[in-house]
Amino acid sequence: MLRHNHCQWLFCVVRHYSRISPPRPVTVKPVIRVSNNIAYLDAPNRGPKPRQLLSLPPFPSHPLPAKKSVSIPGQPARVTAISWVKYYFSEMWDSVIQSHFREGLVQMEDPIFDESSIPKEGQMRPMRKIKPNDVMKPGARVHAPVSIVETRISKRYDTIPSGTLYPNADEIKYLQRLVKHKDSAIIVLNKPPKLPVKGNLPVHNSMDALAAAALSYDYDEGPKLVHRLDRESSGLLLLGRTNDSVAYLQWLFSDINKAKSSCKAWNDACESTFQRYWALVIGTPKEREGLICAPLSKVLLDDGKTERVILAHQSGIEARQEAITEYRVLGPTINGCSWIELRPRTSRKHQIRVHCAEALGTPIVGDFKYGWFVHRQWKQTPRVDIEPTTGKPYRLRRPEGLDVQKGSVLSKVPLLHLHCRELVIPNIAKFMPVLSKRAEEPHASKISQPDILRFVATMPSHMRISWNVMSSYLV
């Protein structure tokens, strides 16, 4: 019996890594061509290349902040398709988005509703081309080619503050340029890579110290961190401006039940809270999408000082922390790598990095802490991959003048390709009087404000370079 249990335990801890095999080449018959009165056999004309589509999240039922809506007498306000796309890709030029609509490249999947006007889960109508003024319905998904998010790449790498104890005028202006949203309760900024969030004594240029000194604005004290990002990662970072807002937001990210109150609108907004990350991983998961439920443990290495997060074993004696992450593959495997989207349901240290490396067997590019063994075997030189529809080899495109040695996927030592792309949180400034029990309903001047705030941040330079090098040639 003991031997049987031991074998069962070994079976549970075996890690399965993805194996990528290109499809068989498609054989095509040659055609006869005539040139200068000479007939010869040649390959048929190449058709249009397959488009790699990005699917936006299902359209929410609540209005978008700071976006105009279509008002029809006797009906609630509505949001057009182009407003939803512009809001989700806020960093893109309007002319680029409009041109994609004009050329009919933007498509939509409409949900199928039941008799009670509730969308049927997982049931969608076939994709159809849409116009800019088409009205969005709750649950509808918009699909657009990757060219809609291609931006000009700056040759100058993202700068970070120099590391002085008290930031100077240039550093203050730099930090204020990172701010995407500011109200009476919170500040949201787009953190660059290689900037530590929480600093110890020798670290002077950490985000908490710089924000306290440079982002106080008209308040007596600077904002405080609500959640953390790794030093090497980038993306949306949330800070609270008052003690009350910090307390409620920390409860929201740690235990949602603590943040709930008697206000139904606030509770509904809390349920809608999530973070969405984009990452470039080596390999591709076996399933295109799924849910990772793998608890984590912390262990000390042989030096007795370095802490490491690992997947918790059922028979282990270490303390276990529940960790859940949703994931979805964004496109095909290109040069041995895949872009994936991750949505953590719990907030554990290094949760996404460990789940990608250990649970999926696809470590994030640039994550040498949890994926060093795979990086040693990974060939960063371009290799031939096969298009599944035509059987032709893919062709990597390197834009002229593009410096790929800036931490991108082709550099010798790439930076971490993990970015907090999207953040959805309750509008705490609207509900603060209700939460502090100073009022039973939000103030009349804030009734028209949205219950939920949604933010989207552009990727840092090294990830945009990797995106252009590995994705743009498919369009």
Q: For residue 209, what pLDDT band results from cuts at 50, 70 and 90? A: confident
Backbone angles phi, psi at 141, to 5 degrees: -115, 130
Q: For residue 351, what pLDDT band results from cuts at 50, 70 and 90? A: very high
Q: For residue 22, what pLDDT band results from cuts at 50, 70 and 90? A: very low
- The reported pLDDT for the residue numbered 318 is 67
Q: For residue 236, what pLDDT band results from cuts at 50, 70 and 90? A: very high
45-54, 100-109, 129-138: segment of lowest average pLDDT: 45-54
The torsion of the CA quartet 328, 334, 335, 340, rounded to 10 degrees, works out to -20
Question: Mean of the pLDDT values across residues 190-205?
Answer: 70
Residue scoring higher pLDDT (345 or 398): 345
Q: Is 367 part of the annotated catalytic residue set?
A: no
Tell me the percentage of the chain whose pLDDT exceeds 90.
17
Question: Mean of the pLDDT values across residues 413-436?
Answer: 89
| Cα→Cα distances 89→148, 155, 357, 445, Å | 8, 22, 29, 29
Task: Count CA atoms within 13 Å of residue 330 on its CB side.
Answer: 23
Tell me the percentage of the chain whose pLDDT exceeds 70.
68
> Taking all residues of the chain, what is their mean pLDDT, rounded to a whole number?
76
Q: How far apart are CA 238 and CA 240, in angstroms?
A: 7
Class of domain 169-474: alpha beta
Question: Which residue's entry shows tokens 């440079």?
Answer: 214
Most distant CA atoms of the chain, gap in Å: 90
Q: How many residues does the chain have?
A: 475
Tens digit of each residue's pLDDT (9 = 90 or more) over 159-176: 555 555 566 777 778 888
Q: Is the predicted pLDDT of residue 377 greater than 90, yes or no? A: no
- pTM exceeds 0.85 for this model: no
Q: Are the beta carbons of 259 and 248 closer than 8 angstroms?
A: yes
Backbone angles phi, psi at 333, to 5 degrees: -80, 125
User: What would the two tokens of residue 434 be?
Assistant: 């209700």
270-306 residues labelled b (16+ CB within 10 A) or e (exposed):
beebebbbbbbbbbbbeeeeeebebbbbbeeeeeeee
Sign (positive or negative) of CA dihedral 166, 169, 170, 176? positive
Select which of 134, 208, 230, 367 is catalytic. Answer: 230
Tens digit of each residue's pLDDT (9 = 90 or more) over 303-316: 666 778 888 877 66
The torsion of the CA quartet 216, 220, 225, 230, rounded to 10 degrees, works out to 40
Q: Is the predicted pLDDT of residue 411 greater than 90, yes or no? A: no
Instruction: Report domain extents, the chain.
Output: 48-149, 169-474
Residue scoring higher pLDDT (351 or 39): 351
- The reported pLDDT for the residue numbered 400 is 46
DSSP state of 244: H
Task: Classify burial at 41, counting beta carbons within 10 Å of its beta carbon; exposed 0-12, middle 13-18, buried 19 or more.
Answer: exposed
Q: For residue 280, what pLDDT band results from cuts at 50, 70 and 90? A: very high
Tens digit of each residue's pLDDT (9 = 90 or more) over 258-273: 777 778 888 888 888 8
- The reported pLDDT for the residue numbered 13 is 42
Residue scoring higher pLDDT (25 or 406): 406
Q: Can you say whether residue 321 is alpha, beta or left, with left for phi > 0 and alpha for psi between -120 and 50 degrees?
A: beta
Cite the beta strand spans of 43-132 per DSSP E: 53-55, 107-109, 111-113, 119-124, 128-129
User: What would the two tokens of residue 114 be?
Assistant: 């039941």
3-state secondary structure of 124: strand
